[in-house]
């Protein structure tokens, strides 16, 4: 089995949304006989984009998994979504891969989202190669795309195939390493031919540059190259692969996936240059501080079994599918493995190989690198590790980005709120970038995700699968109230209704505190004017009343209350009476001390191509934002600003429109500021309507 795994490849197709990753995957599956016709994303006929929401939006919203054989070698492929709305779990998918095939659009070149995807690849130290796709499209510009790899991504590209022609005239390539021209036939195959005379000099220059880059990655070869001025083809091929495995060199090829050109070039490059699961540098690292667990696990065939669950998929026929990567050892049907993270055991049942939405039974024993699915595991979720019970191990999973946008959910029909919550909860099992919660103050059901499209797509999926009609609305902004002045008041509660009455009497002083301080209670009672056992009740009454606010129903914050006098009745006084007295005193004091509405301010960081910087700064300023600074690097500008939360609850579609989908942003709560009078008036008026 070891010989078989040495020639096995497990890789992820990575790149920004719309660069053609799914089309490249479709081309590879067609040329290896997995599918019998070349599907198209725009027509909704690809093997890997099969969800109705994907077909409707003409793009991937979840990863696709497939396997194929090329020249009797097994390859496992992960097609990752590129849209920022659906790529939050990219770190988990890359953890399941041994390498990345990075797809770049020949028309758009390297975009800001391309840079973010590349950063994820390098964070995990994955070997990578690049395919410049869409060479047949109008305005395809190979040089622009190729130069962007070095200038924007900062990589050291090694050009394997120089394209012959572009747009409608994309007819072949020059194999720079072998010094030979290859022309496409009608079925996407390759025919050798002569290098066009007008590019012979350019090709020789590129081959010389390639030889230098390869030699620099190996000290022995560098010495030979300096002494003899040349390297053999075999030496360059071997050194190139070693340079790729070490992450020092990045091979580049070209394709036109929609017309099936470049498949064989890419398939051979994947086989010849990318690592096998046994080529992994260093062991898998376990969770820190986990008792009884191994700190690391070798990626070896004879090591104890360990599998990482990189994705959970809801299959309409087989139920929940757990897609896992074999990290070490072997896995077979009907095995029982431990799940240390859940303190449970799982019986695997049948192993399934995925080809998009279809599955096939796997009767073989699989080793490291295999991507396999298992149905109906009871206690296993995405990012869990399944392992040999005798040798427990839990992989340290990479961190995921925080949610960028939150919406409130409601049931279209009254009384179905629990049904909505239950249906959305099921979706969280397969989409780890979604979170559902209840608003502490508003009681709203909140769904958080990576963008407006992400939330809308999730709601569409819930409606389709579980037949639940959901209303989607922006969440309520968590305003606050505070005081600007000082007040001394009496809170007196007296009630007599036959028998024992109620009596509580307190004097308090209320004054403002610096922003962000919260609430402070000072007991200044002397002489026993209020017995000790009743003082906490006054405090509690004030705190409970402050949560309901005074003018708009929002919690009142940043104030100090000093309890300095009062009186009691030996029979009628009680904790409840003093609690009510404290509440009454609070309301009086707050009104006298002049209420001020506070609004939450978020810290926004926007990433955009340089040409859109002015528009975005102008838009943020129009939203009452304060620009804190900008930083431009390699064509991408980072803009930092403080902006009122109410102004950017639905910022994602605006940014997408302004930047043509190239801008991204993150935001987090920063602080509270006084609300301008016109805004405060609207908020207060709105609270009274509600």
Per-residue 3-state assignment (H helix, E strand, C coil) for 430-488: CCCCCEEEECCCCCCEEEEECCHHHHHHHHHHHHHHHCCCEEEECCCCCCEEEECCCEE
Break the chain into its structural domains and give their ranges: 2-278, 284-387, 405-470, 480-593, 598-689
How confident is residue 187, by pLDDT bands cut at 50, 70 and 90?
confident
Phi-psi region of 151 (alpha: psi -120 to 50; beta: other; left: phi over 0): alpha
Q: Sign of the C-alpha dihedral, residues 300, 302, 308, 313?
A: positive
Q: Which numeric CATH code is attached to 284-387?
A: 2.40.30.10
Residue 290: is its pLDDT beyond 60? Answer: no
Query: Candidates 3.40.50.1110, 3.40.50.970, 3.30.70.260, 3.30.230.10; correct CATH number of 480-593?
Result: 3.30.230.10
Residue 626: is its pLDDT beyond 80? Answer: yes
Quick one: average pLDDT of 524-545? 93
Q: Which residue has the higher pLDDT, 127 or 609?
A: 127
d(CA 244, CA 189): 26
Quick one: average pLDDT of 493-518? 89
> What's the pLDDT tens digit per position in 640-655?
999 998 898 878 788 8
How confident is residue 173, by pLDDT bands cut at 50, 70 and 90?
very high
**What integer pLDDT is reported at residue 81 of this predicted model?**
93
**What integer pLDDT is reported at residue 442 of this predicted model?**
63
* H-only helix segments in 66-161: 90-95, 112-123, 142-151
Asked if the domains at 405-470 and 598-689 fall in one CATH topology, the answer is yes
Residue 305: is its pLDDT beyond 90? Answer: yes
**What integer pLDDT is reported at residue 375 of this predicted model?**
92
**What integer pLDDT is reported at residue 424 of this predicted model?**
86
Least confident of 28-37, 47-56, 203-212, 311-320: 311-320
Quick one: average pLDDT of 469-489? 88
643 touches 624 (CB < 8 A): yes
Residue 293: is its pLDDT beyond 80? Answer: no
**What integer pLDDT is reported at residue 289 of this predicted model?**
52
In sequence order, which residues have a C-beta less than 8 Å from that of residue 52 and are 6 or more positions away? 464
CA within 13 Å, CB half, 138: 0
How confident is residue 542, by pLDDT bands cut at 50, 70 and 90?
very high
**What integer pLDDT is reported at residue 308 of this predicted model?**
96
**What integer pLDDT is reported at residue 410 of this predicted model?**
82
DSSP per-residue letters across 53-69: HHHHHTS-SS-EEEEEE
Q: Which residue has the higher pLDDT, 72 or 451?
A: 72
> What's the pLDDT tens digit per position in 412-423?
777 777 888 888
258 touches 23 (CB < 8 A): yes
d(CA 414, CA 676): 36
> What's the pLDDT tens digit per position in 246-266?
989 999 999 999 999 999 999
How confident is residue 440, by pLDDT bands cut at 50, 70 and 90?
low
> What's the pLDDT tens digit per position in 60-105?
989 999 999 999 999 999 999 988 788 889 999 999 999 999 999 9
DSSP per-residue letters across 348-388: --SEEEEETTEEEEE-S-B-TT-EEEEE--SS--TT-EEE-
3-state helix, strand, coil in the chain (%, to 5): 30, 30, 40
How confident is residue 504, by pLDDT bands cut at 50, 70 and 90?
very high
**What integer pLDDT is reported at residue 689 of this predicted model?**
60
Inter-residue long-range contacts of 32-37, CB under 8 Å, 24+ positions, other chains counted: 32/68, 32/69, 32/70, 32/75, 32/267, 33/68, 34/66, 34/68, 34/355
**What integer pLDDT is reported at residue 100 of this predicted model?**
96
> What's the pLDDT tens digit per position in 203-244?
888 888 888 888 888 888 888 888 887 888 888 888 899 999
Quick one: average pLDDT of 286-309? 81
**What integer pLDDT is reported at residue 288 of this predicted model?**
66
How confident is residue 554, by pLDDT bands cut at 50, 70 and 90?
confident
Q: What CATH architecture applies to the domain 598-689?
A: 2-Layer Sandwich (3.30)
For 408, counting Cβ atoms within 10 Å of its Cβ (0-12 exposed, 13-18 middle, 19+ buried), the class is middle
Mean pLDDT of the chain: 89
**The domain over range 405-470 is classified in CATH as 3.30.70.870:** yes
**The domain over range 2-278 is classified in CATH as 3.40.50.300:** yes
Q: Is the pTM of this model over 0.75?
A: yes
């Amino acid at each position: 089995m070891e010989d078989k795994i040495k020639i096995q490849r497990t890789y992820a197709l990575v790149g920004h949304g719309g660069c053609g990753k799914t089309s490249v995957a479709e081309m590879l599956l067609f040329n290896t006989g997995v599918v019998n016709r070349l599907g198209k994303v725009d027509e909704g006929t690809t093997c890997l984009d099969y969800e109705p929401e994907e077909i409707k939006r003409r793009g991937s919203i979840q990863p696709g998994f497939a396997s194929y054989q090329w020249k009797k070698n097994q390859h496992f492929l992960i097609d990752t979504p590129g849209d920022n709305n659906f790529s939050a779990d990219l770190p988990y998918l890359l953890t399941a891969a041994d390498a990345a095939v990075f797809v770049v659009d020949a028309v758009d070149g390297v975009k800001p989202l391309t840079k973010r995807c590349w950063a994820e690849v390098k964070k995990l130290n994955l070997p990578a190669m690049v395919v410049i796709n869409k060479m047949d499209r109008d305005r395809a510009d190979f040089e622009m795309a190729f130069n962007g790899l070095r200038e924007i991504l900062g990589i050291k590209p090694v050009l394997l195939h120089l394209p012959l022609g572009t747009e409608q005239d994309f007819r072949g390539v020059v194999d720079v390493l072998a010094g030979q021209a290859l022309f496409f036939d009608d079925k996407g195959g390759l025919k050798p031919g002569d290098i066009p005379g007008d590019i012979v000099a350019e090709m020789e220059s590129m081959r010389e540059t390639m030889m230098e880059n390869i030699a620099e990655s190996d000290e022995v070869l560098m010495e030979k190259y300096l002494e003899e001025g040349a390297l053999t083809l075999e030496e360059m091929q071997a050194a190139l692969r070693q340079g790729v495995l070490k992450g020092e060199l990045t091979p580049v090829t070209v394709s036109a996936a929609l017309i099936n050109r470049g498949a064989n070039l890419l398939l051979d490059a994947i086989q010849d240059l990318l690592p096998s699961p046994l080529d992994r540098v260093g062991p898998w690292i376990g969770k820190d501080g986990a008792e009884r667990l191994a700190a690391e696990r070798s990626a070896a065939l004879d090591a104890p079994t360990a599998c990482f669950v990189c994705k959970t998929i809801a299959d309409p026929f087989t139920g929940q599918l757990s897609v896992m990567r074999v990290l070490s050892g072997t896995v077979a049907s009907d095995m029982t493995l431990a799940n240390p993270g859940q303190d449970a055991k799982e019986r695997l049942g049948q192993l399934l190989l995925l080809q998009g939405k279809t599955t096939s039974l796997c009767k073989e024993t699989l080793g490291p690198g295999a991507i396999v699915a298992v149905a109906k595991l009871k206690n296993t979720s995405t990012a869990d590790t399944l392992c040999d019970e005798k040798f427990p191990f839990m992989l340290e999973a990479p961190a995921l980005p925080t949610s960028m946008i939150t919406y409130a959910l409601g049931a279209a029909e009254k009384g179905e709120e629990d049904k909505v919550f239950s249906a959305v909860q099921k979706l969280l099992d397969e989409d780890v970038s979604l979170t559902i919660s209840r608003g502490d103050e508003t009681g709203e059901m909140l769904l958080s995700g990576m963008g407006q499209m992400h939330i809308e797509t999730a709601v569409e999926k819930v409606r389709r699968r579980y037949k639940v009609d959901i209303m989607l609305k922006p969440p309520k902004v968590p305003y606050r109230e505070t005081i600007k002045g000082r007040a001394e008041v009496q809170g007196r509660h007296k009630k007599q209704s036959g028998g024992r009455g109620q009596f509580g009497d307190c004097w308090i002083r209320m004054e403002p505190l610096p922003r962000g301080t919260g609430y402070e209670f000072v007991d200044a009672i002397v002489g026993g004017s209020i017995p000790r056992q009743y003082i906490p009740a006054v405090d509690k009454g004030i705190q409970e009343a402050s949560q309901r606010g005074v003018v708009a129903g929002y919690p009142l914050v940043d104030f100090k209350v000093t309890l300095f006098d009062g009186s009691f009745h030996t029979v009628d006084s009680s904790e409840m009476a003093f609690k009510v007295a404290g509440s009454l005193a609070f309301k009086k004091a707050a009104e006298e001390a002049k209420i001020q509405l506070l609004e939450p301010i978020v810290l926004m960081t926007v990433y955009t191509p340089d040409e859109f910087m002015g528009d975005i700064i102008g838009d943020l300023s129009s939203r009452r934002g304060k620009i804190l600074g900008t930083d431009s690097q390699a064509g991408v500008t980072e803009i930092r600003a403080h902006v009122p939360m109410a102004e950017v609850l639905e910022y994602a579609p605006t940014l997408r429109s302004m930047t043509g989908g190239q801008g991204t942003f993150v935001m987090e709560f920063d602080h509270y500021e006084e609300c301008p009078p016109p805004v405060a008036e609207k908020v207060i008026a709105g609270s009274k309507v509600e």
